[in-house]
Structure formats: structure tokens, C-alpha cells
Amino acid sequence: MSYPNHLLSSDQLLEVFNLTHTATAVHVGETAVIQTANDAMLRIWGKDRSIIGKSLEDALPELKGQPFIEMFRKVWLEGLVISGKDTAADLVVDGKLQTFYFDFEYRAIKNDAGKTICILHTAIDVSERVLRQQAVEQALEREEALQREQTLNEELAATVEELATTNEELVATNEELQETQETLHVLNNELELRVVERFNQLSESEKRFRTMAEGTDIFIAVADESGNAIYFNKSWVKLTGRSVKDLLDFGWADLIHPEDRDRYVDIYLSALAEKKPFTGEFRILTKKGDYRWLLASGPPRFHADGSFAGYISSCIDITERKLIEIERLNLNKLIEASSEFIGIAELDMSIQYLNPAALQKLGWLGISKRTILDCVFPEDRLMAEEILPGILKNNTFRQEIRFWNEKTGIPFWIEWNGFAIRNEENDQIIAFATVGPDITERKLYQEELQGINMEMAAANEELATTNEELAKTHDDLIRYTNKLSDSEEKLRQAIETGRMGTWSINPKTLEITMSSFVKELLGLPLDKPAEMDMIMKAVNPDYHKMLFSALDNAMKNHLPSDTEYPINNLINGQEKWVRATGRVFLDQNGNPTEYSGLFIDITEQKLDELRKNDFIGMVSHELKTPLTAINGFVQVLQRKAKKDEDNYAIIALDKAHSQIRKMTTMINGFLNVSRLESGKLLIEKTNFSLDELLKETIEETYVSQSSHQIILNPTCEVNINADRNKIGNVISNLISNGLKYSDNGTRIEITCKLYDTEVEIQIKDEGIGIKPEDIDKLFERYYRVQGNHTISGFGIGLYLSAEIIERHGGRIWAESEEGKGSVFHFTLPLS
């Protein structure tokens, strides 16, 4: 949600509902029982809130015999919308039955199943507008009557003239006409008086119209039969800041908001073309430079002869009502657009509303016949059932819980916030709402962090044990040094004979002190203090980060150090391997006083390891040549034995072939160890399907191991970028270990799990299991579990597997329980 802190609560929405100027009520049932009504509606009815919960006929008995109660019933039963304009209604207000006029609407509100759940009743009291319009119409009628009388008088005057002429011609011959003439003369005088009187009345009517128009806040304008304005009252001048002359000369359509102008002008011109009434809403620019919303309506005017005379239009300011409507619309849009889980439920847990984000997260198409418990992941529903009843007591709750997507079956975490919705009249809880942000990523991070913390705790325990051993060794050395304090020269000779030297760093000044042996080994001047910059120049750059990390841990955490790295003598450039051990000494207050240790030349030891690795690599490589030849001869003999149907030879050669495969695997392992430790084990990455590799490796394993069940569970179809052959070797080695340490007829299960950034492969057996003290050493070079020497192997398979996975940026580990089997895991990054 864009503005989560401004989302209104239900109580706040009801307060806004009560403050809105538009009279609004909600009814249920055929008898229109009043569910709620805002203050504006209560004022119209002349009632207080005691009528809430009553039927409309019980609350307003005066409506009996009027059409409104039957309208409500029809809307409820048929799901209609009934509205009316300028509709008269007789209501008892202040103890007096009075007639009022309303613009109203009865709208059926339906649920997803199309069933009417309530009727939204809105009304606007337009009595003043109607009465004013009736007054205007009566004035116009009087004007038209006067015009008709004037026409009649003119016709009578013409008749009188004709009669006078005739009377003059016949006066001599017909004395009786004299009397008629005198009578007509009297009538003529009376008609002239009546014309004058009617003219005065017309002038007075127009004067009263202008007085009324100028004295009202309603915006009144008059237009002629062409649609051109001929009159604007002062309210228009006050609103727009334009004079009446400017309004008549230049019009006012240019003041309409650009977004409303074409629409409203089309309404006006369409009505003008058909000489029909019009109504419309638009925004108009005021003299302050802002826009106000106006509701305009205009009935047509007609002359005495029935010809069209134009319009008298009136406008009322509806800005406040429109702003409230827009605010509510924006609030609904914000809720609809929110990414949080938002819903409303009845007390029986049935869901009444879910926003689009909630439906998408749940994988639902609708909420029909759904309860809030359907949202909760099945494993967490017991907890939800314990939480929800508390809404009737505590009103609110907050709980981290899993919801789930029914389509995928995947759960997701939300921070479930629930609060009660109360009836304003009796303060009873009638429903509850829930708002919950998705916290899945945070929970996964917490779980990952917890796992890391557990690993760190285990590592810290191991490190603590190592520190204790080093401390004991160092203390033994100190005690030994103290014993020989009377013969420092002997101690120096003993250290130099062992090709060792001493060094020390002051924790406060970082001043470095070294024995001459160390300076000579690094190629530093013997007569000058040792400096860190010169020391680091002698150290291979690839190991700088490691040494600074060890120094930082020693100074800050008081941890011991034991590192091995190559150096180049700064004088002769000779390369050597050294081992540096160190320990921080603390005073009685726990402050470091010295960081010192031994500096040992291990070049010969390292060279021996390299020569050993070269020898193993050379021997292994040389062994592969005759072994390949033997394998070829065995395969030829196998084909011949099968052709001759020599069962004994077939069995014997199969066993020989199996032993050759085992020997080939061991030789390849020695070669890979040799390449690994000499830096020649290359990782050649390509894109390939992990599923296909698993299937191929299992099929190859079945060739020689048919006594076990190897089961590949439904796996994840994913492509990874890795060294296909070496990952295949890891999988094959882990399967072979499972077969090796499991009884015939047991199962080997292989499972693949896909996460956001990595894929995990699990290989589970039903074998003899591994002791807890052996778990952490499984992946060390040449390590074999104690007590299992009857099973062949040199302890290099898991070591090689761990190195291959580590060089791919993955992790490898094992879980086991003695007598029940083991599970080996390794991960590979997806990118």
C-alpha cells in the first residue's frame, strides 16, 4: 500500500460516514430494517438513533400509504436500483406533518453469489430547490397568462374599434346600437384598466424573480431559445469574479474544468436540441484560482403560444460531497491496490471480503463458502483456532502464521493482525478484519540465520577446544622456557636448530619484535626494527587477507592463530613455506599485553608433500595403462564366455570386472587428490540438466549394483552451470557409499529440492549409520570411520567430493543415526 499509515479503521470510516453531508442509510430485509444511518439521514427523518434496528414503517409510520416501503421491498426481492428526482415525501418533523422533496436512490448490494445482502439508501433534500423552481415556474406561468391576456385585450381592442366604426355608420339608422356602443365603451375602459393592471403585475413578477434570484446563494442563469445566456445572478459574479457584462459577452464555458467541459457542454446542447430538461455535474474555476463542484439543472421555458423560450438553470455547490466521494473512492482503490493481505470475516468465520492481493496469494478465484480458516496452512490451523476466539475478548491480535496457496500447496508467512468491528449503537462485535504483510522473506532469512548461528556455535565450540589445546601447548612451552631461563643461549640454539624463530606484537603500539632467524628468513635488515609493510612484501599477496584477519581476531577477540603461507626472501628472492602460531596474553583485568608466538620453516615438509603427491600421481597414472589393458582382455573373455555359455567363467569374469572398476575408481581418486593439491584440478563449467545427470548416474550404478533399490523421487527440473563430470562423480560416490554401507535389499533414495538461489540434492540410505564423533571428520583426506576396516576404501572419496562442491560455491554435509542410516546433502548455486 502506498500510504499504509493512513488506512482508516472501521471506526474511523463510520465517523466519516456519519459526517458526510449526503444522507445515507443501510437497510436489510423485505421490511427495510434500518441497519445504520448517518446523522444527515436522521435529520431528514427528524429522528434520533433509537430507530436503528426498526423497520422503516415502524420508524416512520407516516410513510404508510406512500410508495416508498413497497419500493424497498421490490429492490430487496429483485436486486434492483430505484432512484428518483424531486420526489415528494410527507414526513413528521418537529411533530408536524410536512411535505419535502428529495433526490433519492435505493440500491441493492449483492454478494459474489448474486444474493442481495443489504440496500444502500441515499437521499438529498432538494425541497428548497424544488420550491424555488416551482416559484420560478409559477412566475413564468403568470407572465405567460399576462401575455395571453394582453393578446386577448389587443384583439378586444381591435373588435371595439371595428364596433365603433360600425356604430358610427349605423347610429343614424339603429338607436339600439347606441346602447351597445355605450356598453362596449364601458367594457373597453375596463379592459384597458385590466391590461394596465396585468402589465404592472408582470413587471412586479419579474421584479420579484430578480429579487429572489439576487438574494439566493444558488447560481441562477437564464438563456434564450438559442441557448445564449441573457441573465446571471450575483452568485455567479461572486463565484467567478467576472462581471455580469463579461459573463454575457464572453460566456462562462471556458471556466469549466478541461476534463469536464466537453461532457457538460454535450449534455446542455443535447437538451437544447430536444428542448428537454438537463442536469449535470462539473467543476468551475473560481476567482480564487481553485475549482468548485457544481450540480446544475435546468427546466425549459415556453411562451404563451407554447413556443420554446429557453432555460432557467440553477446550480448548487456540491464540492464537499464530491470530495468525500473521491476520498472514499481513493481509499477503496488503495485497499484494492495494496500488496498486503486484507480481509473481513463474520463471527462464524465466513469471509465477506478479500482484496485482490489476498486472492492471488491464496490462489483463489472467489470467496463464496470460504472461511478464514481456509486461508491458514493446515499445520497451523490448530494455532489459528486457539487465536480467533480471543477476538471476542481482546479485540485485537498479532501472530506470525503461515497461510498457503491452494494451487501450488506452498505456504507463505504473514504477520496476522486482527481487530474487531463493533456495532456503534450497542458496542457489540459484529465482524472482524485482518491485515497482514507478507513476511516470508524475513522468516526464511531468520531460519537461515538460525542455521548459520548453530553452525557458528558448533565452530566456536571446536575452536574453543583447539584454543584450549593451543593454550595448553603454549603454557607448556612457557613453563619449559621458564625452566631454561638460566640458559637463554641454549633455548635460542634449540629454536634455531629446529628452524624456528620467535615474534611478538605490542597490542597498544603495534610495534613488532622478531628474532634474527625470522628476519633472515624474510630478508629483513638485522639491525633495524621490523615494519609491517616490509613483512607483507615478503608474504605471498594471496595470503595477505588471511593474515590481517588472524591479526584482527587476535587483537579484538583474543583468539589464537595458526597459519601456513609461502614467502619470498626480500634479498635473494628464495621461496619458502612457513608456519606462524600465536597467542594473546592478558593481564589480570583481561586486557591484552602481548601477542606472540613461533615462526617455523616448513619448506621441507611442504616439498615432501608435493613430492608425495607427484609420486602418487605418477604411480596412479602408470597403473592406469596396464589396468586398461587388463579391462580390455576381461571384456573380450566375457563375450567369449557368454558365447560358449560357460556360466563359471561368466561369474568369475564379472567379479574380475567389478574389481577392475573398483581399482579404476581408487586410482582416479588418487589422481584427483594429486591434481587437487598441486592446483591442477580444473573445474570446467557447462550448462546441463540436473535431472538427466541424476538418471544417467543411477543407470550406471545399476549395472554393477542390482542388490539394492535405488529410488529417484520426483525431482526439480532445473539447468545448472557446473562441471558435469565432476558433479556426476560426487553423486556416484555418495550412491556407492550408501550401497557399500547398507545391507542387500535396502533402499537408496535420491531427492532434489529447489530453493531461490540454490538446489539441494539428498542421498539417503538405510545402512549402519555414522557415530556422532565421526560426522565432522568424514570429509577429511584419508579419514576412515573407526571399526569399519572390513570395507575397502582409502578415505579419499568424500574428501574429493567436498573439495569439488566447495569449488562450485556449494555446501556438503551429512546427518546420521547409528543403526538407522545416513543422509548426505550437497548444494549447488543456481547462478
The per-residue pLDDT for range 451-489, each reduced to its tens digit, is: 666 765 665 576 566 556 655 655 665 665 555 444 445
What pLDDT score does 180 carry? 54
Provide the residue type at 158 as one letter.
A
CA distance 300 to 308: 7
Provide the residue type at 11 as one letter.
D
**C-alpha cell of 109?**
448490494
What pLDDT score does 527 carry? 86
pLDDT tens string 25-61: 999 998 999 988 988 888 888 888 898 999 988 989 9
CA distance 552 to 510: 12
What pLDDT score does 11 carry? 63
Strands (E), 527-574: 561-568
- Over its C-alpha atoms, the chain yields an Rg (Å, rounded) of 50
Distance from the first to the final alpha carbon of the chain: 32
| Residue 555 per-residue DSSP state | H
Map out the domains of the chain as residue ranges. Answer: 4-125, 131-323, 351-438, 484-601, 682-831
What pLDDT score does 411 carry? 93
**pLDDT-derived band of residue 783, with 50, 70 and 90 as boundaries?**
low
Strands 747-754 and 709-712: parallel
Q: Phi-psi region for residue 510, left (φ > 0), alpha (ψ -120 to 50) or beta?
A: left
What pLDDT score does 277 carry? 93
pLDDT of 156 over the 80 cut: no
What pLDDT score does 1 carry? 39
What pLDDT score does 257 carry? 92
pLDDT of 795 over the 60 cut: no
**Residues in a beta bridge with 397:** 418
**C-alpha cell of 723?**
562441471
pLDDT of 815 over the 50 cut: yes
CA 528 to chain centre: 65
**Mean pLDDT value of segment 494-516:** 77
**Mean pLDDT value of segment 321-348:** 79
**Mean pLDDT value of segment 776-802:** 63
- Out of 203-217, 562-576, 614-628, 662-676, least confident range: 614-628
pLDDT of 331 over the 80 cut: no
- Out of 16-30, 81-95, 101-115, 697-711, least confident range: 697-711
**C-alpha cell of 315?**
446550480
The pLDDT mean for the chain works out to: 79
CA distance 661 to 664: 5
**pLDDT-derived band of residue 642, with 50, 70 and 90 as boundaries?**
confident
Pick 484-601's CATH classification: 3.30.450.20, 3.40.50.970, 3.40.50.300, 1.10.10.60: 3.30.450.20
pLDDT tens string 538-583: 898 988 888 888 888 888 888 888 888 889 998 888 888 888 888 8
**C-alpha cell of 764?**
539417503
CA distance 697 to 692: 9
351-438 CATH fold: Beta-Lactamase (3.30.450)
**pLDDT-derived band of residue 207, with 50, 70 and 90 as boundaries?**
low
CA distance 607 to 29: 96
4-125 CATH fold: Beta-Lactamase (3.30.450)
Q: Which residues of 672-683 are buried (b: 16+ CB within 10 A; e: fewer)?
A: bbbebbeeebee
What pLDDT score does 453 carry? 60
Report helix, strand or coil for 300: strand
CA distance 101 to 128: 8
CB 228 within 8 A of CB 222: no
Portion of the chain with pLDDT greater than 70, in percent: 75
CA distance 497 to 517: 10
Exposed/middle/buried for residue 428 (C-beta within 10 Å: 0-12, 13-18, 19+): exposed
Closest by Cα among 254, 249, 329 to 16 = 329
In terms of pLDDT, which residue wins out, 176 or 505?
505
In this structure, what are the phi and psi dihedrals at residue 809, rounded to the nearest 5 degrees? 80, 20
**C-alpha cell of 599?**
615462526
What pLDDT score does 494 carry? 44
What pLDDT score does 159 carry? 53
In terms of pLDDT, which residue wins out, 524 or 160?
524
**C-alpha cell of 711?**
529410488
pLDDT tens string 225-251: 888 888 888 888 888 888 888 888 766
What pLDDT score does 811 carry? 92
CB 738 within 8 A of CB 750: no
What string of DSSP letters covers 735-751? HHHHHHTS-TT-EEEEE
What pLDDT score does 464 carry? 60
pLDDT tens string 252-293: 788 899 999 899 889 989 998 998 999 999 999 998 889 999
Give domain 131-323's CATH architecture. 2-Layer Sandwich (3.30)
Closest by Cα among 9, 65, 4 to 418 = 9
**C-alpha cell of 792?**
575397502
**Mean pLDDT value of segment 121-125:** 88
CB atoms < 10 A from the CB of 138, how many?
Answer: 11
pLDDT tens string 180-192: 556 656 665 665 5
**pLDDT-derived band of residue 312, with 50, 70 and 90 as boundaries?**
confident
CA distance 482 to 349: 80
pLDDT tens string 651-686: 877 777 667 766 666 666 555 555 555 544 567 889
The yes-or-no answer to whether 351-438 and 484-601 have a common fold is yes
pLDDT of 823 over the 90 cut: yes
CATH of domain 682-831: 3.30.565.10
CA distance 542 to 458: 28
pLDDT of 787 over the 60 cut: no
Q: Which residues of 455-485 are buried (b: 16+ CB within 10 A; e: fewer)?
A: eeeeeeeeeeeebeebeeebeeeeeeeeeee
The sign of the dihedral angle between the CA atoms of 751, 752, 754, 759 is positive
CB 104 within 8 A of CB 25: no
What pLDDT score does 293 carry? 92
